[in-house]
Every structure is written in C-alpha cells, then in structure tokens.
Amino acid sequence: MNAAGNPSAKISAIGILGGTFNPIHFGHLRMAQELADALNLDEVRFIPAANPPHKDTPTTTAQHRAAMVQLGIADNKTFVFDDRELHRSGASYTLDTLHSLREELGEKTSITLFMGSDAFTKFDTWHRWQEIIQLCHIALVQRPQQRGHDHKLSKALETFLHNHYTENPDDLHNHASGFATMRHITALDISSTAIRNALQHGESVRYLMPDNVMDYIQKYHLYR
C-alpha cells in the first residue's frame, strides 16, 4: 500500500466491497469477481465494518470477521484485504472510508463502490449519502429477492440513479467518481444470515463459502 499523498501509478481503477462479512461467502466473492472483470478493475478491496451503523453489533468480533475475509480472499491476487474501518472508533461511515481511500490513492484513481440491491434500497439513509458519489462510482448488482424484504426504491434514490446512471464501463474508468451503473451477475441466493442460521441448527454450509472459512468457523466454534 502507498503512503498518503503518494498515489500509485499502477493502480488506476479499484472496486471496494464493504460489509459485515459475518461470515464472508460465495455471494460476496462471486459478485466481486464478476464486477472486477466487467469493469476491468486492478483490484477489489474487501473492507469489513467494525461497527456497522445500520445493524446491531455483530455477534462475531471484528477480529474473527476480518480473519475470515482474509482467508476467503487469500487465493485471489485481485482481492485485497483492507482493515481501515477496524482502526477507527465509533460507527463505520462509508464517507469516512472514501475520504481515507482518496488520501491514499489520490484524486485520479477510479473508485467503484459495490453494492447489492438490498443495501442500495437503504442507501438514502446513509450518513451524508449524497456526498458519496462525489468520491466514488457505485456499481449495483441484483440480489436474489429475499423473502420479507422490500426492494422498492425511494423517489430520492430513483432520481439519484437517473442523474448518475451509465451503462458504459468506460465512464467508470475514465472518471474517478460520479457514475452509477447496474450489472447483471450470476444470482446466488446466499446470505450470511442464512449461513448463521444453518450453523446454529447444525446444518452443513458446504458449497456456500470457501472451505478454509468453514474450517475457521469450526475451529473457533463460531455461530453455535
């Protein structure tokens, strides 16, 4: 990683995927892979949240969640673990994370924030959400409908999408921020919630997440 104010010439476009990762699973990994390919990104940063403002405090410590992310992405050269939210106290705001990434990478690097459709429906409740698009692009992916969840967008979000929307990946590459796009990816109806429930009931979670993450969960008796 580069020191602040010393942006790398090599990295021109990155993706970032924030989440609780409680635990990481193939839904996260496949989405990151397909967006990295579709948008021709140099790397994807996985950024676990310490203290997600929109969720109750996760039952699993940030250290365990971070360790599982590191294991899950270990064999992929494009995927990078980024622990900057774990070093901040208080709530993890994406806006702060983006300011900190800009300090590291400079103003010219294209940064694209990845989001599942479930996360985007609540985007207009995020801390100073309208400023976020000034610091990054947003790439949305359809998440398979989850029972009981409402995926309808607010008027504000519809207008937001309309104002920033592009289908052209070059727009995201040629600008550092400011565009929103939607991409179709392989639909994987996998969630951390369902995985935690399965584990609690002693069911197998094989083929939903990497084996080394499963081994870690077993070793530390998580989600029992």
Site string for ligand ATP, 70-109 (x = CB under 6 A): ----------------------------------------
**Cβ-Cβ contacts under 8 Å for 179 (sequence gap 6 or more):** 137, 138, 164, 165, 166, 171, 172
95, 157, 188, 198: residue in contact with ligand ATP (rule CB under 6 A): 188
15, 27, 72, 169: residue in contact with ligand ATP (rule CB under 6 A): 27
Of 10 and 201, CB closest to ligand ATP: 201
Neighbours of 131 (CB within 10 A): 13
- In this structure, what are the phi and psi dihedrals at residue 134, rounded to the nearest 5 degrees? -75, -15
- Residue 60 binds to ligand ATP (criterion: CB under 6 A): no
Residue 23, preceding bond cis, omega within 30 degrees? yes
115, 138, 172, 208: residue in contact with ligand ATP (rule CB under 6 A): 115
Asked if residues 137 and 172 have their Cβ atoms less than 8 Å apart, the reply is yes
Total binding residues for ligand ATP by CB under 6 A?
A: 18
Neighbours of 176 (CB within 10 A): 20
Of 28 and 102, CB closest to ligand ATP: 28
Site string for ligand ATP, 121-150 (x = CB under 6 A): --------------------x-x-------
220 burial via Cβ count (<10 Å: 0-12, 13-18, 19+): middle
The residues binding ligand ATP (CB under 6 A) are: 19-22, 27-28, 31, 115-116, 118-119, 141, 143, 188, 190-193
